[in-house]
C-alpha cells in the first residue's frame, strides 16, 4: 500500500458540509498518519476560516451558487464555473491526488468534475436524506457514495451506495466530565438548569425570535440559556436586548467549542441539520428540533421525523415556534422522566464510526489507484 496517499477533500459553504469533511480528514490522519490532505473550498465562505483552524491547508475556488430572484445576478455564474473547473484541473495536476472526496457545496462540483475528467477515483459523502444537486449530477461517476439515510437509491446508483451515517468530529461529541468546564467557559452557574439553543452553523431567525420574545420567562424561572445566534443576527440581538447582560444569559454568534456547550446543557433546542443531528445522537441529551422550512425538499423535517418516530426527540414546527417553543423547553426541563426517555432513545439512533468507515473507503480507492 502507498504509505503516503494524497487526498483532496472538496466542498463547504456551511458547517453542515465543512465539519463532516474535517471529521473525515481527522480519521484519514489517524488511520494513515503519513497521508497528505488538501482541502478545496469556495473563496469567501466559512471553510476558508474553519479548515485552517482545524489544522489543514485549503485552496479557494472563485465559485458561488445560483442566486434566486434575478437572471442578472447569475450572469457571471457560467464564467465562474468554467474558471473553477480550470483551476480544479490545475490543482489536480499539481497535487496529484490518489483519491478525491466531495462533501457537497459549491467547490465540490468543479473539483469532482475535474477528478472525473482526469480519471481520479472519487467518493461522495451526502449528509441529507435529500441529495444536493452537485452530488446528484456527479453521483454516476463516483466510485462510492456514503450516505446517512435509507432510500438514497432515488438519487444515486444503488451499487455505489454505502450507508455509513454522517461523520462527526470526535472531540465535539466527547462530553464526559466536561459539564463544569462548559459552564465555566460560558460564565454560567454549573448548578442551574441550562437550555442550549443552536440554529446550525449560520444561526436561525425563528429560534432567535422565539428566544428573544420569551427571554423574561426563562430568566423568571432562573433557567440559564446558551444562545447561539449565528453571525448575521448577533449584532441586532445585542443592540435590542438589555437582558443580554443578565448572568443567566450567554449569547454567542458561533460556538467554537461545541463540546463544552453540549456538556453544559440539560435540554437542547436545535435546527434539524443532518450534522447536528448526528452529533445529538452521540451526546445523548433531550432535544427539541425545529426544522428549517427554507431548505431543499423540506429535508430537515425528514431528518427530524426519523428521530421523532422513535420517540428520540421532540419537534416543534417553525410556524408555531414563536408561540410554543420556549414553554415546551421549560416544561421538558422539569420533567426528568421524559428527559431520561428521550436521552435513552436518541442514543439508540447513533452511528458512531462513520468517519473511520469513510476514511477506510477513501484509502481503499487511493490504494487501488496507486
Ligand atoms: C440552512 C441550511 O442550509 N442548513 C443545512 C446545513 O446546515 P448547517 O450548516 O447548519 O449544518 P448542520 O446542522 O448539519 O451542522 C452544523 C455543524 O456546525 C457545528 N456548529 C454549529 C453551531 C456553532 O455555533 N458551532 C458549531 O461548531 C455543529 O457542531 C455541526 O457540526 O447543512 C446540513 C448538512 O448538509 C443540512 O442538513 C442543513 O439543512
Residue nearest to atom 22 of ligand 1 (CA): 201
Q: Percent of the chain scored above 90 by pLDDT?
A: 86
| Average pLDDT over the chain, rounded to an integer | 94
Banded pLDDT at 66 (limits 50, 70, 90): low
Query: How deeply is 100 buried, as exposed, middle or buried, from its count of CB atoms within 10 A (0-12, 13-18, 19+)?
Result: buried
The best mutation among 13, 15, 256, 279 to test binding of ligand 1, ranked by most ligand atoms within 8 Å of the C-beta, falls on 15
**Is residue 262's pLDDT more than 90?**
yes
The pLDDT of residue 189 is 98
Q: pLDDT digits over 126-171, tens only?
A: 999 888 888 898 999 999 999 998 899 999 999 999 999 999 999 9
Closest atom of ligand 1 relative to the 255 alpha carbon: 24
**Is residue 345's pLDDT more than 70?**
yes
The pLDDT of residue 81 is 82
Q: pLDDT digits over 277-301, tens only?
A: 999 999 999 999 999 999 988 999 9
pTM recorded for the entire structure: 0.94
The best mutation among 46, 200, 228 to test binding of ligand 1, ranked by most ligand atoms within 8 Å of the C-beta, falls on 200
Ligand 1 centre distance from Cα of residue 112 (Å): 22
Binding-site residues: 14-16, 128, 169, 201, 300
Strand-strand pairing, 267-270 and 249-252: unpaired
Give, in order, the Cα–Cα distances in Å from 170 to each of 30, 58, 177.
12, 21, 15
The pLDDT of residue 125 is 97
Ligand 1 centre distance from Cα of residue 281 (Å): 15
Supply the ipTM of this predicted assembly: 0.98
The pLDDT of residue 3 is 73
- Backbone dihedral angles phi then psi of residue 360, each to the nearest 5 degrees: -65, -40
Q: How far apart are CA 36 and CA 60, in angstroms?
A: 18
Q: How far apart are CA 180 and CA 227, in angstroms?
A: 18
Domains of the chain, each with CATH number or no CATH = 6-166+352-369 (3.40.50.2000), 171-347 (3.40.50.2000)
Q: Are 273 and 295 spatial neighbours (Cβ–Cβ below 8 Å)?
A: no
Q: Are 134 and 109 spatial neighbours (Cβ–Cβ below 8 Å)?
A: yes
Q: pLDDT digits over 9-40, tens only?
A: 999 999 999 999 999 999 999 999 999 999 99
Ligand 1 interacting residues, C-beta cut-off 6 A: 14-17, 19, 127-128, 172, 198, 200-202, 228, 254-255, 258, 273-276, 279, 292, 295, 299-300
Ligand 1 centre distance from Cα of residue 268 (Å): 15
Give the helix/strand (H/E) hosting 197: strand 194-198
**Is residue 1's pLDDT more than 60?**
no
Ligand 1 centre distance from Cα of residue 370 (Å): 35
The pLDDT of residue 2 is 63
Beta bridge partners, 40, equal 10, 59
Number of Cβ within 10 Å of residue 15's Cβ equals 20
Q: pLDDT digits over 53-64, tens only?
A: 999 999 999 987
Amino acid at each position: 500500500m502507498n504509505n503516503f496517499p494524497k487526498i483532496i477533500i472538496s466542498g463547504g459553504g456551511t458547517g453542515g458540509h465543512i465539519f463532516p469533511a474535517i471529521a473525515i480528514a481527522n480519521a484519514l490522519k489517524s488511520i494513515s498518519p503519513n497521508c497528505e490532505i488538501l482541502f478545496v473550498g469556495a473563496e469567501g465562505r466559512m471553510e476558508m476560516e474553519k479548515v485552517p483552524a482545524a489544522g489543514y491547508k485549503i485552496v479557494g475556488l472563485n465559485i458561488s451558487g445560483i442566486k434566486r430572484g434575478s437572471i442578472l445576478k447569475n450572469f457571471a455564474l457560467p464564467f465562474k464555473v468554467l474558471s473553477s473547473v480550470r483551476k480544479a484541473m490545475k490543482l489536480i495536476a499539481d497535487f496529484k491526488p490518489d483519491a478525491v472526496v466531495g462533501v457537497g457545496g459549491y467547490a465540490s462540483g468543479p473539483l469532482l468534475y475535474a477528478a472525473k475528467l482526469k480519471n481520479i477515483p472519487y467518493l461522495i459523502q451526502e449528509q441529507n436524506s435529500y441529495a444536493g444537486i452537485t452530488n446528484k449530477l456527479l453521483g454516476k461517476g463516483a466510485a462510492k457514495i456514503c450516505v446517512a439515510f435509507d432510500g438514497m437509491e432515488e438519487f444515486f446508483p444503488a451499487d455505489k451506495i454505502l450507508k455509513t451515517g454522517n461523520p462527526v468530529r470526535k472531540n465535539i461529541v466527547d462530553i464526559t466530565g466536561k459539564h463544569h468546564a462548559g459552564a465555566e467557559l460560558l460564565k454560567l452557574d454549573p448548578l442551574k438548569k441550562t437550555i442550549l439553543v443552536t440554529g446550525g452553523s449560520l444561526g436561525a431567525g425563528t429560534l432567535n425570535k422565539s428566544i428573544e420574545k420569551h427571554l423574561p420567562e426563562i430568566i423568571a424561572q432562573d433557567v440559564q440559556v446558551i444562545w447561539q445566534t449565528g453571525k448575521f443576527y448577533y449584532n441586532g440581538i445585542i443592540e435590542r436586548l438589555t437582558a443580554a447582560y443578565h448572568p443567566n444569559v450567554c449569547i454567542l454568534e458561533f460556538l467554537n467549542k461545541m463540546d463544552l456547550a453540549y456538556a453544559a446543557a440539560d435540554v437542547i433546542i436545535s435546527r434539524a441539520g443532518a450534522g447536528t443531528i448526528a452529533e445529538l445522537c452521540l451526546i445523548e441529551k433531550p432535544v427539541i428540533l425545529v426544522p428549517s422550512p427554507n431548505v431543499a425538499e423540506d429535508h430537515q423535517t425528514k431528518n427530524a421525523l426519523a428521530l421523532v418516530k422513535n420517540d428520540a426527540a421532540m419537534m416543534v414546527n417553525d410556524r408555531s415556534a414563536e408561540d410554543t417553543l420556549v414553554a415546551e423547553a421549560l416544561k421538558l426541563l422539569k420533567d426528568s422522566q421524559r428527559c431520561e426517555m428521550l436521552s435513552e432513545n436518541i442514543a439508540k439512533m447513533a452511528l458512531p464510526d462513520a468517519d473511520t468507515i469513510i476514511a477506510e473507503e477513501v484509502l481503499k480507492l487511493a490504494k487501488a489507484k496507486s
